[in-house]
Amino acid sequence: MGTCLRFSLAVLPAAFILCLASAGTHNKTGVSGAWLKNVPLYAGARTNPYAQDEDAVAAGAKLFQRHCSSCHGKDANGTGRAPTLNSFTVKNASPGALFWLLRNGLLRRGMPSWSRLPDEQRWQIVTYLQSIQDR
């Protein structure tokens, strides 16, 4: 077995374990709502095409459970990984701002971008998030 191979066999698993360990250092996402300052005016002003649509609330709830609940909790009240979404920040954010956040994420702070979802599904999630604010 060559020196290069022995070296890589030793280093690669160690590097992978370091990667796993560093994942514990994510900051909690957007607790303060500081991200709202980054939302462009045009994006914040966009209106939700599914506002008040009961089907969109149900579809958004389903999407939330699939994509978001592992970090934000099944009832959106937050976990150790990510903050509650039943919050003053979310309640007061415009639909366009929430849509912008889902599209862009906060990659440095651990919130992934959900641009992989079609716009329609992100609006459905926004509809659901706004529907739970008054509960």
Partner 1 sequence: MLVPTFAAAIWAADAPYFVTYTHHMEEPGTLEVAIENLTGRPQAGERFLGSLLEVEYGVKGWWSTEFYFSGQSTRNDSTLFTGYRWENRFRPLMGEHWINPVLYVEFADLNGADKTMKEVVGFDSQFDQNTRNAEARVEKKREIETKLILSSNFKGWNLAENVIAEKNLSNAPWEFGYAVGVSRPLALKASPRACRMCIENVRAGVEFYGGLGTRHRFGLGDTSHYVAPTVALELPSGTTFQISPGFGMTSASHGFLLRFAVAYELPGLARHLRRLWRTYR
Which residues form the interface with partner 1 (CB under 8 A)?
A: 2, 4-5, 8, 12, 15-16, 19-24, 26, 54-56, 58-60, 62-63, 66-67, 69-71, 80-81, 103-113, 115-121, 124
The CA dihedral of 32, 38, 43, 45, to the nearest 10 degrees, is 60
* 53-77 b/e (C-beta count within 10 Å ≥ 16 → b): beebbebbbebbeebbeebbbeebe
Of 22 and 32, the one with the shorter C-beta distance to partner 1 is 22
Q: How far is the CB of 53 from partner 1 (least distance, A)?
A: 9
Q: How far is the CB of 78 from partner 1 (least distance, A)?
A: 13
Q: How far is the CB of 88 from partner 1 (least distance, A)?
A: 24
Q: Compute the distance between CA of residue 93 and CA of residue 48 in angstroms, rounded to an integer.
A: 12
Of 79 and 91, the one with the shorter C-beta distance to partner 1 is 79
Which tokens in the block code for residue 112?
């992934």
Whether the CA torsion 4, 6, 10, 13 is positive or negative: it is positive
Give residue for tokens 């969109």.
56
Q: How far is the CB of 76 from partner 1 (least distance, A)?
A: 15
Of 45 and 91, the one with the shorter C-beta distance to partner 1 is 45
Of 43 and 133, the one with the shorter C-beta distance to partner 1 is 43
